[in-house]
Amino acid sequence: MKYRCNLQTNPVMINRACDKLVAAVSAIKPAAPPQTPRLQLAVSNSNQNSIKPPPQKPSPPPAQSSTVQGSANRRLTPDEKFFSDFEEGKLKDEEVLLIHYASETGRFSLGVGWRTDEERKRIAEWEELNQYSDTLSKKYESALSRLEVRNLTSVSERTSHGNPRQVDFVDGLKERMLDLPDSLHERALEIIQRDLETKDKADENPFPF
């Protein structure tokens, strides 16, 4: 049987054949495991990087109370505007003097129209009695017109022909005139003193040129 299959019985030859087989098997490299394509990973990473979180909405400012909003948006009343302009130095001298005069004499009603001369005489007597300058008596109509534009006066009496002959201060101003700030009286006295000094200098030097 062994002669028909031509089996090798020589141990030396068998050992050599085994060595060749082992060497041939060792030379065979195992197949590398499949790898994920780098391009696909790169694309995947780029897609992840391109996804941005949604922008955050800015938080709304704290709500103001209705009281604060109301005071900020509310328009000043005529008397509030008057004293605000006084604090900012926006009033004419005659405006300050007229309020000072009305407060000192308690005259909350003033003559206009054909009664203008009567009121001007009263102011002149007040100026003479207190040794004030005659600034207000000379600028009475101008001062009254400015208060009228400021909506601080209203017609209280008319002639038979419908012409105003007396005006009253509005209620808001009347209330404030009962307790005027000292700063207004001080400003009025400064104006009076300045005008007196100017008049004295003019009397001393009637021919300045």
Kindly list the domain boundaries of the chain, sorted by start residue: 76-198
pLDDT for position 20 = 72
**Residue 131 has what DSSP assignment?**
T
Helix or strand run (H / E) with residue 209: none
The domain defined by 76-198 carries CATH number 1.10.10: yes
Structure token pair of residue 190: 């400064």
Question: Which residue stretches of the chain have pLDDT < 70?
Answer: 1-15, 17-18, 21-72, 203-209
Q: Which residues contact 163 (CB under 8 A, 6 or more apart)?
A: 113, 114
Q: Are strands 109-111 and 153-158 parallel, antiparallel or unpaired?
A: unpaired
**Residue 91 has what DSSP assignment?**
S
Which tens digit of pLDDT belongs to each residue from 127-183? 999 999 999 999 999 999 999 999 999 999 999 999 999 999 999 999 999 999 999
